[in-house]
Amino acid sequence: MYQYLLLLNTDKEKEFFEKIYNRYRHEMYYASYKILKNSSDAEDIVHETFLTLTENLDKMMDNPPHKNWNYILTIVKNKSYNLYKKKKLEAEKGLRRSEQNQIFVEELDVRMAKIEQRELLLKLLKQMRKPYQDVLLLQYYHELDVMEIAEILSKTPDNVRHISMRAKRKLQSMLEEYGYFE
């Protein structure tokens, strides 16, 4: 914590930062760990988040605690998801190198169709309302289960399941408009 305090100028900022640090560091770690499933990566995210907070402390000092926690949690999640995506891409690159022969065997038109379908799905997801979009992205792109999604979105697991069902129905009707279902 002392390394962060050295980055701050006033005693008021230092006192406020200490409160934030002591109150939220464990929750920050837990939130990051739930996404990354790796202890050292979660610790790195918490560290990066605290560095970000030292730069933006003036924006937080007059806010109520719940607003500060939402701000902190948003930073932690975004940094965690970015790292998750980065590691996933690195793993896929390694996988791609080892399986290049198989990839080139697949016909070009099949690969193009898959790319077009993926792009269409992402386009349709972006058109959906926020809770539908969030649940489907977390469920299928980030491969989180209902309990994890409920925790991240601060909803009950039943609520997440209902949102998921409605989102899938909505996505199916949107795909029907594009001629993918009859």
Whether the predicted pLDDT of 51 surpasses 90: no
Q: Which residues, in sequence order, are CB contacts of 75 under 8 Å at separation 6+?
A: 49, 52, 53
What is the spatial distance between Cα 118 and Cα 112, in angstroms, rounded to a whole number?
A: 10
Confidence tier at 130 by pLDDT (50, 70, 90) = confident
| pTM score | 0.50
Domains, the chain, in order of start with CATH, read: 1-105 (1.10.1740), 106-182 (1.10.10.10)
pLDDT digits (tens, 9 = 90+) for 72-94: 999 999 999 999 888 888 777 76
pLDDT at 45: 93
Using DSSP, state whether 122 is helix, strand or coil.
helix
Are 68 and 20 in contact by the 8 Å Cβ rule? The answer is yes
Confidence tier at 101 by pLDDT (50, 70, 90) = low
pLDDT at 43: 94
More confidently predicted of 152 and 99: 152
Q: How far apart, in Å, are the Cα atoms of 113 and each of 118, 120, 173?
A: 9, 10, 20
Residue 106 DSSP class: S
More confidently predicted of 89 and 146: 146
pLDDT at 102: 59
What is the spatial distance between Cα 5 and Cα 1, in angstroms, rounded to a whole number?
A: 6
Confidence tier at 166 by pLDDT (50, 70, 90) = very high
Whether the predicted pLDDT of 67 surpasses 70: yes
More confidently predicted of 164 and 93: 164
CA 136 to centroid of chain Cα atoms: 12
Percent of the chain past pLDDT 70, that is, above it, reads 83
